[in-house]
Amino acid sequence: MERCDAKELKKILRKEVRAKIESLDPEYCIQADRDIFKQVTELEAYKQGKAIFCFVGTKGEIDTAPIINHALSLGKQVAVPKCRSKGIMDARLIQSLSDLRVGFYGIMEPDEYAPCLGPEKVDLAIIPCLSCSSSGKRLGYGGGYYDRYLEHVTGLKAVICRRQIMRDDIPVEDHDQDVDLVICEENIWRLGENDLFVSGGNS
């Protein structure tokens, strides 16, 4: 049998991880998401950051509504993803989660009139994944939206993931973007050389 390339391996892993996510104990997910909220909001980059980019969690993903609401309550600029075309997204500012409507792929997103926040203005980007490794290898959904966007983000890039779906066998492709932090409910791994944070966690 010929060796699978990274793209094909990712397809296989996505199927495996989706099945794993479906099997997770709901009570575990609730508690893990609460602990991840605490990890994120105690980051120095979060406390000091004026502009936060955060994905809007959908079914099976980490519930990011508490993070978004908390950041808004502190008067921070909060931007969430909006898909513009195949593989392309930008960040749109919101004032409330009630600003969101069902958009691409059934994901909640702002309408087209919401103001943009340039990637160079993002202090902390909170990124989703299907799975990731503690070394920062991220398994996304296959559309390339986040890799294209993160290429232009100069602030701190953090991927959040429940510990039970993290795995070390994630292949890497040339277009995959590096992250500075991997955050789960149990730990924070500091990976990059970005000095926009001084925080707890293990490297």
Binding site for ATP, by residue number, is 10-14, 138-146
Two structure tokens written together for 135: 């070394």
Phi, psi of 176 (to 5 degrees): -65, 130
Amino acid at 113: Y
CA dihedral over 135, 155, 35, 98, signed as positive or negative: negative
What are the φ and ψ backbone dihedral angles of 9, each rounded to 5 degrees? Answer: -60, -40
CA angle 68, 17, 61 (to 5 degrees): 15
Look at the alpha carbons of 160, 165, 169, 173 in this order and tell me if their dihedral is positive or negative. Answer: negative
Contact by Cβ (8 Å): 131, 61: no
Of the candidates 157, 126, 146, the residue with the CA atom closest to the CA atom of residue 53: 126
Which residues define the annotated binding site for substrate? 56, 61
Residue 89 dihedral angles phi and psi, to the nearest 5°: -140, 160
Binding residues: 10-14, 56, 61, 138-146
